[in-house]
Amino acid sequence: MDVQSARPAILRSVRASDYAFFDTRFQALAHRGGQHPGIGENSLRAFARALELGYRYVETDVHATADGVLMAFHDTSLERVTDGHGQITDHTAADLAEVRIGGTDPIPTVAELFETFPQARFNIDLKSAGGIAPLARLLEEYQAYDRVCVASFSSARLAAFRKLTGDRVATGMAPGSVVLLALSGLGTAGWALGNAAQVPARVAAGLLPVVTRRFVEAAHRTGRRVHVWTINDAAEMNRLIDLGVDGIVSDDVVVLKDVLCARGLWEGEA
């Protein structure tokens, strides 16, 4: 049996070009909206500032509240970046409406992101299983299928999300699929799922490279994109672009924009 024919029926294609999300030459992604003085991560102000700089793509993370409302927030607990306490999943949306990021900004719901930034595209990391069904419902409600790429470190979460949405939404590759892609010379690429390998440049305390020219070429042969996170150094950005990557996730949205402008890859407003 051909391995490609053994793919689940709901994933008829892995080619990124089948999805409007990837219709730019290079995807510059503002990590949690980017870092801006006096503005908290994953806040409406952070996303707005990135879009004002000309970014089209922003990255965020999602958790569902105790009453099923999807919030744009990275951590499982509130303490690191807010004046709240406890696990985000133990609170209702009404509870979280009183919490402030950095003491100033409310935690936005994903619905607020879709409504406030209708032209933005969101790379969304599913941080827990509880967010799967609420995200699928929001994509249907806002007809936002073309505006998102959904990623997760969990292959089970991605499988459940794909079962709900089928081929309608671009997805990232879970670690297992990244390994299959990296071993594509052994004929394993047909079993890998997802449209974009969203990976760190290196793992194992920086000793083991993930993003190599061979890895990028393997992704491109199968029609996938390669996005690298989280890169804040201009020299490293240039090195990765030289390897042929298709996107970079960065906190330092000014540096990334400057590098892409110099390389002729910036497609937003100058």
Residues forming the active site = 31, 74
CA distance 117 to 121: 9
DSSP at 182:
H
Tokens representing 180? 């299959």
Element (H, E) at 209: strand 208-209
CA distance 197 to 228: 8
23: Cβ contacts below 8 Å, ≥ 6 apart = none
Listed residue (164, 169, 170, 231) closest to 196, CA to CA: 170
Distances (CA, A) of 51 to 118, 202, 257: 11, 29, 12
Alpha-helical (H) ranges within 10-142 are 44-52, 93-96, 110-116, 132-141
Burial 104-123 (b: 16+ CB within 10 A, else e): ebbbbbbbebbeebeebbbb
Alpha-helical (H) ranges within 40-193 are 44-52, 93-96, 110-116, 132-141, 155-165, 175-182
Element (H, E) at 250: strand 247-250
